Structure 1
Amino acid sequence: MSTPARKRLMRDFKRLQQQDPPAGISGAPQDNNIMLWNAVIFGPDDTPWDGGTFKLSLQFSEDYPNKPPTGRFVSFSRMFHPNIYADGSICLDILQNQWSPIYDVAAILIYVEMLLISSARMFSESKREYNRRFREVVEQSWTAD
């Protein structure tokens, strides 16, 4: 069945595949389910996340693009980040009260990547401990499914 949400997601997927994909991100629908996407964000260079491979899922509803998807990191059970809950759920304005139908899948993934980048600046007072915790998360990402 081809609904407006499914048509939009197909367009988002084609745009993500055909145009120059944004550096450091990748995403595609799961087999036979355009409403559930798997994505990867590669740890941004020159941040404590550098070298990591972070998997997440995006679940869309039939109300997309009028309503945002839900996003969740699935790489491993615990991300060390002030905007990522213990279950991997992502606390990001554009996925909640600042959502706009102009955002597509690429924009969502870019915002999540920016969330990782900005977090590295948040705790400058305790940089050594913060970086140690980041490194643990990066190393876990190498072996997690």
Structure 2
Amino acid sequence: MEILRKNYVTISLHRPESLLEVNWLRQPSDKEFKHAYKLSLEIAAQEQLRYYLSDNTMGINLAMALQHWVSAYGSDIIGSLKLERYARVIPPDAFQEIVSYKMFEFLSQQQQASLEFRVFYNRAEAMSWLQHGTRQFA
């Protein structure tokens, strides 16, 4: 079920799979990003979803201030989430990978959550890991 469709993002809820899927379509403004990110995590919390897929294949970049906002907002809401696995698909870019893991590391230090996080270069591998729990890495 599609929750949000804008020219910069789509957010879809797949209840049978307990999955929320966020597809970034272009570089969003800070306001656009915050709206979509907050909405996606609020839905994940309300629906008590187990899996989250963020497809950033097109390679959106977050300014340092926005990275800090994501970390702060994420640490506030992570306690209300039932997420078990969070997959992020990125283009083959070492910087994107480093930033992804650094932000997750910060969140992990703030809350003792059992959330598993992985970065992938391939959407199919990310979906496989989410659905089957195989330990695949980018």
The TM-score with structure 2 as length reference comes to 0.28
RCO higher in structure (CA 8 A, sep ≥6): 1
Structure exhibiting the larger radius of gyration computed from Cα positions: 1
